[in-house]
Amino acid sequence: MDSAPDAAFAAGRERRRVARQARFVVVLRGALSAAAIVGFALWAHFGSGRPVFSPHSKPEAGWEAFREAYGVDTFGRDGYFVRAVQNGYNLVHHTHRYAWRFTRKGALDHPNACIDCHSAEALAYAFASGDRFDARLGRRVSFEEHVKRCYATHLDGFVPTIYDPAVRDIRIFARMVAHHMQLGEGAEVGTP
Amino acid sequence: MKQAVSSWVARRAGAVGNELLIGLTLAIVVLPQAVAFSTTLAGLPSYFGLYGAIWGMLFTALLNPSRVFHGGPNSTQSAVIGVTLLPVAPQFGPDYIGYALTLFLLAGLIQLLFLTIRPLGRFLDFVSEPVANGMICGIGLYMIFKSFPPFAGLPVNTQVEWRLWIAWQSFLAVLEIGNMHAIHIGLITLLVTVITRQFDTLRNWAILLGIVAGTLYSEYLNANVGVGETLVEQTANISPAGFVYPSLPLFTQEAMPDIISIIPGAVTLALLGLIQTVAAMRLMNRKSGQFVDARHGIFADAVSNCVLPFISALPTCASFNRMSLMQTMNTGSRLAAISSALFLLALVSFFGEYIAIVPVPAMAAIIMVVGANMIDWSDIKAHFQHRPEAIVFSASFLSVHVFGLFGAVICGSLLALAYAQWEKAHPNITLEGNVLRIRGNIYYGSLPVIESLYHRANIDERFDELIVDFSAVHHIDPEGIRWLAEVGRNGRVRFAERRGGQDRRGDSAGRSGERKERRRRQAL
Amino acid sequence: MKPFALGWGKAVRLALLVGALLALYVLAVARHDERARIREQPVTLTPGCEEKLARYGLAAGSGYASPYTLARSGQARVKRGYSAEDVRAIQRGCNIIDDLQGQLAADPSRERWNSTRFVRGTHTSCDHCHQGIGDKQTAAGVAQTGSLSLAASWVMADMYDQFTGILLPYELRQMQCYINSSNGYKPNVADDLIRDVTAYSRFLAAALDLRFGNHYAEQGIDEVTAASTLKRGDDYVRGAALYKEKCARCHGPQGLGTVVDGKALYPAVAGPNAFNQQSRNNFSFVSTILPGFLCRNMPLGEEGTLTNQDCRDIGFYVSNMPRPAGDKDGPLAALWHQLMMRVMPTLIHTIETWQRPEVTQESGT
């Protein structure tokens, strides 16, 4: 009768040990999987060599020159509007990189950016005479619609939504240039 | 011996083959959903949904031992993302994406909180079916409304307003100023999807068929009328992003006010994800016979959602329809889920060009179908059989539209707790003749109800004795004990407690009395 | 069960659904055609618009030269011409600003693009605030400072807006008006209602020869800050007295406006037809805008008679009168405001005039 309690206790200890081990296995498995997943994310960032997405615009070559030449600083050194102008500048000059979602053109294609066909001044004049009737289409067409059309056809791409920054910032860029040129509404090319 | 091995191999190969088939089916089913959820509901580029479907599914399959669990992008969560971020930045832009990543990370951290603090995790079990169903039906209806503008190629209204009024105005706008080409594409997609869904064999492929039909028609339009004239928005290019696109959430000083304003959205996202995961696992535990603790689901979701923001992916949570699909096809292991992720990766790599030309109105039509599907009439009828459930369901449903998604989650949680408390506070009390039978809990919450009935029975002149039967009471708190002590002092009252096998009385009777008691007990 | 068989019940439901969708499609086609027809129709101008557009020489042609610019600078700047469609859009836009409710139109819903759908109440019109049909000029024919000029607003569009936290294109700026000042619901950004007003604003910018990105004094409101007063406090009671003396004769003792023959002669400044809690006119929200507007434009016919402090007092008083809740305030606040707006004026009027017939004129709507 003496050994029965010992056996019972031993059996209990054994059961607890097995349960602990089972829990440990579960926790270990979870921790290893989590570590693998985190490791994959770390590799994607540092080991894979792929560019990391960042919400901030990168200053491209030529931006400072444009800024000087077109007096962007009247709207501030930095700011929501100035960043939109900068993004517009990037879109117009490096379209295949900044609007990669809406164009199939790559770095080696030509033309692969808005600036290859339209100068900044031309865009400004186009903006100043936006929202006019287009006889071919039979309706009034806005500047944004023209931009969407360009992406889809001339840039061999896809149609963005009208409020996508890839469209909006081109308008804002054009507005900035129009301000620098002191264009009025409806200005004909060559006149303010 | 060789025969035994080869037969074992054949069986295993057969099983593996079955798993791969299930994986392929799932990949094809999830592809259109992922793209639609991220472009139309969440306002994010399509690669978010696709990476959510690939990496999200892979991560949850790795972390969650349940063989029928299928994570990936979720329509409810995508709706929450869209609603939360709409006032913050213009959709699809780099700012918007940055805020979205921050939102996902916050949601993941909140889910980690639910994992580490056990009682919080237990709280999720209290979200009863009528509450969860009410919210999901409400969100389904909301998704139908939200897809009106993209259905007709119209811009989305970006400022917050009462949802039902926006829905009506959007509907009128679709009728009056929508892009007719977009409406045509949307209608074709909608009709093809709805009609093919009616046939059992084609049910799983209905959405894909609808999208293919819509895309074919839009390509025909582009060829004949010209893409520059139709100007129907498209899903757009995903191939430059590659198979993984690392990203950093936005956490700058100047973004702080906006980040603070999206915290309620993060809470909503986290809660909705966990509620759905826990509910789905509960359901699948019953159906599949493999029991997996819901905490594994919470762990899988939390860790995945903390990592997914760093690889440009939508957050993940359980998908009821995909999990039922796996269950119907008798999946045997997690290989199905893992292979579905890999198949999807392959599909996206090879067919990325075709995904890019899918028109947005087709996506909007799909969202309408998914939203309508979330309103399950048989479930609703079942809830309306029972009045408290009906009230809770209706309140939950309406709060989505009146209070918004965050308000709905709070409202739903409160309703869930109230529902649980209500049940507990209303024990089943019956008065038959002179027997007051209590089944349930005697505690401070239920005492008002018990005591009023007790007093009614006590003043009844017809009987000279009142029997209080609490055999089926399973919990008595100190307040209950105090009440029972008071009742015991009443000479008229006799307690009956059948479990103990004997009457508890103030004075003990003789043997004959016992026999009489036994007969009387049987009469009870 | 055959894989492609459909039960009768299902087939009927499916047929109903498909039928409903096709019926809606037919309705959509009809409505679209109607809109296209309205765009083609010649526009009946309101008297104010007729005069203004004639003054600026709006006509279809290969070029456009503004008589206003010619008169002021001696040079005719020839700008891009307008087609007939553009001219009609500009005319419709002018009509909308002048007469949003369509009270001067033969068929208000058709000629004003269903504008009343988006505006609560029957009082509000755009040119109550954007006076002079968006182009208020002094007697000398120069644009008045702080007159909410639509043209000046167009050339300075796309700027950051602190209340919404985003860059506001011109269409969304109009949307702000629909949400706040006219206390209404929102048209879709692509609606003709918005596009025509944009067209009119752009025409004004061309006629007045305003340049992009330049700040003009007539843009927005000429705000009245506390710093421009003697800082004797924005006194509510003083404001009430001033209101009773100068404003109540047109806008009503309780701010509910004056309605004659179903037309709002003088708009409400409180109650269900007035701007809501979230509007920038609300002194509690932005304390410089309403006083600025009052000092420049009110009382009608006696502009410039109020001191800065007077304007702030009246603005404070007016903003505290019951008005609808804003969209972001949520349904409970909206309900509370609705209750207060409907109940309080009648209650106060009854109590004030209880057996005191001599005060009947001062109290009540």
CATH number, domain with residue C345: 1.10.760.10
Cβ contact, residue pair B245, A50, below 8 Å: yes
- The pLDDT, as a whole number, for residue C225 is 93
Residue type, B301: D
Cβ contact, residue pair B45, A36, below 8 Å: no
Q: Do A173 and A80 reside in the same domain of the chain?
A: yes
Q: Do C298 and C347 reside in the same domain of the chain?
A: yes
A186 touches chain C (CB under 8 A): yes
Conformation bin of residue B440: beta by default, left when phi > 0, alpha when psi is -120 to 50: left
- The pLDDT, as a whole number, for residue A147 is 95
Q: How far is B186 from chain C (nearest CA, A)?
A: 11
H or E element, residue B23: helix B2-36
In this structure, is residue A58 part of a structural domain? no
In this structure, is residue A188 part of a structural domain? no
Exposure on the CB side of residue C132, measured as CA atoms within 13 A: 23
Give alpha helix (H) positions in A43-160.
Answer: 63-70, 80-93, 95-98, 120-128, 143-152
Query: Which residues on adjacent β-strands are paired with residue B316?
Result: none
What value does the mean pLDDT take over residues C251-266? 89
Q: Do C172 and C203 reside in the same domain of the chain?
A: yes
Tally B–C CB contacts below 8 A: 93
Q: Do C172 and C232 reside in the same domain of the chain?
A: no
Q: Do C199 and C133 reside in the same domain of the chain?
A: yes
In this structure, is residue C25 part of a structural domain? no
- The pLDDT, as a whole number, for residue A35 is 96
When CB atoms are compared, the residue of C35, C166, C179 closest to B176 is C35
Q: Where does CATH 3.30.750 sit in chain B?
A: 426-523
Rounded to a whole number of angstroms, the distance between the first and last alpha carbons of chain C is 72
- Could you give the number of structural domains in chain C? 2
Q: Do C191 and C247 reside in the same domain of the chain?
A: no
What is the residue range of A88's domain? 63-180
Cβ contact, residue pair B303, A52, below 8 Å: no
Query: Cβ(B389)–Cβ(B61) under 8 Å?
Result: no
Q: Do A34 and A98 reside in the same domain of the chain?
A: no
Q: Do C76 and C197 reside in the same domain of the chain?
A: yes
C-alpha span between B125 and B334 (Å, rounded) = 25
Rg of chain A over Cα atoms, rounded to whole angstroms, equals 30
Q: So what's the ipTM on this one?
A: 0.91
Q: Which residue has the higher pLDDT, C281 or B240?
A: C281
In this structure, is residue C269 part of a structural domain? yes
B44 touches chain A (CB under 8 A): no
Which one of B158, B198, B256 makes the best mutation probe of the C interface by having the most chain C beta carbons within 10 Å? B198
Q: How far is A75 from chain C (nearest CA, A)?
A: 9
Cβ contact, residue pair B237, A158, below 8 Å: yes
- Chain B, nearest residue to A106 by Cα: B240
Q: Do A23 and A68 reside in the same domain of the chain?
A: no
How confident is the prediction along chain B (524 residues), in pLDDT tens digits per residue?
777 777 777 777 778 888 898 999 999 999 999 999 999 999 999 999 999 999 999 999 999 988 888 889 999 999 999 989 988 998 999 999 999 999 999 999 999 999 999 888 888 887 878 888 898 999 999 999 989 999 999 988 766 566 777 788 889 999 999 999 999 999 999 999 999 998 888 888 899 999 999 999 999 999 998 888 888 999 888 888 888 999 999 999 989 999 999 999 999 999 999 999 998 888 888 887 778 888 899 999 999 999 999 999 999 999 888 888 888 888 888 899 999 999 999 999 999 889 999 999 999 999 999 999 999 888 899 889 888 889 889 999 998 888 888 888 888 888 888 877 877 777 788 888 888 888 888 888 888 888 888 888 888 888 888 888 888 888 888 988 988 888 888 888 888 877 665 555 544 444 445 555 555 555 44
Chain B residues lying within 8 Å of A36, measured CB to CB:
62
Q: How far is C279 from chain A (nearest CA, A)?
A: 23
- The pLDDT, as a whole number, for residue C359 is 65
Which one of A173, A185, A191 makes the best mutation probe of the C interface by having the most chain C beta carbons within 10 Å? A185
Tally A–B CB contacts below 8 A: 115
Chains that touch A (3 or more CB pairs under 8 A): B, C
C-alpha span between B250 and A133 (Å, rounded) = 42
> How many other C-beta atoms lie within 10 A of the C-beta of residue A114?
26
Q: Do C182 and C103 reside in the same domain of the chain?
A: yes
Cβ contact, residue pair C190, B155, below 8 Å: yes
In this structure, is residue C31 part of a structural domain? no
In this structure, is residue A189 part of a structural domain? no
Cβ contact, residue pair C79, A186, below 8 Å: yes
Q: Do A47 and A104 reside in the same domain of the chain?
A: no
Which one of B103, B158, B248, B358 makes the best mutation probe of the A interface by having the most chain A beta carbons within 10 Å? B248
What is the residue range of C126's domain? 44-207
Give the model's confidence band at C363: pLDDT under 50 very low, under 70 low, under 90 confident, else very high.
low
Q: Do A89 and A172 reside in the same domain of the chain?
A: yes
Interior/surface letters B207-229, b for 16+ CB within 10 angstroms, e for the rest: bbbbbbbbbebbeebbeeeebbb
Domain CATH number, residue A152 = 1.10.760.10
Q: Do C196 and C317 reside in the same domain of the chain?
A: no
| Residues C315-355: tens digit of each pLDDT | 999 999 999 988 777 788 888 999 999 999 889 889 988 87
- Could you give the number of structural domains in chain A? 2
Distances in Å between the alpha carbon of A108 and those of A94, A97, A104, B490? 12, 12, 11, 98
Our CA angle for C233, C145, A186, nearest 5°, is 145
In this structure, is residue A90 part of a structural domain? yes
Q: Do C98 and C146 reside in the same domain of the chain?
A: yes
Q: Do A42 and A90 reside in the same domain of the chain?
A: no
Chain B residues lying within 8 Å of A157, measured CB to CB:
236-237
B292 touches chain A (CB under 8 A): no
Rounded to a whole number of angstroms, the distance between the first and last alpha carbons of chain A is 111
User: Would you tell me which CATH number, out of the four given (3.30.70, 1.10.3470, 3.30.750, 3.10.310), belongs to the domain B426-523?
Assistant: 3.30.750
Q: Do C152 and C267 reside in the same domain of the chain?
A: no
- Chain A, nearest residue to B296 by Cα: A30
H or E element, residue C12: helix C8-40
Exposure on the CB side of residue A107, measured as CA atoms within 13 A: 2
Q: Do C160 and C252 reside in the same domain of the chain?
A: no
In the numeric block, which tokens belong to residue B192? 């093809």
Q: Do C353 and C246 reside in the same domain of the chain?
A: yes
When CB atoms are compared, the residue of B155, B236, B246 closest to A158 is B236
Q: Which of residues 188-217 of C touch B (CB under 8 A)?
A: 188-192
When CB atoms are compared, the residue of A163, A176, A186 closest to C206 is A186
Q: How far is C166 from chain B (nearest CA, A)?
A: 7
A184 touches chain C (CB under 8 A): yes
Q: What's chain A's average pLDDT?
A: 91
In this structure, is residue C3 part of a structural domain? no
Chain C residues lying within 8 Å of B177, measured CB to CB:
32, 35, 188, 190-192
Cβ contact, residue pair C83, A168, below 8 Å: no
- The pLDDT, as a whole number, for residue B507 is 45
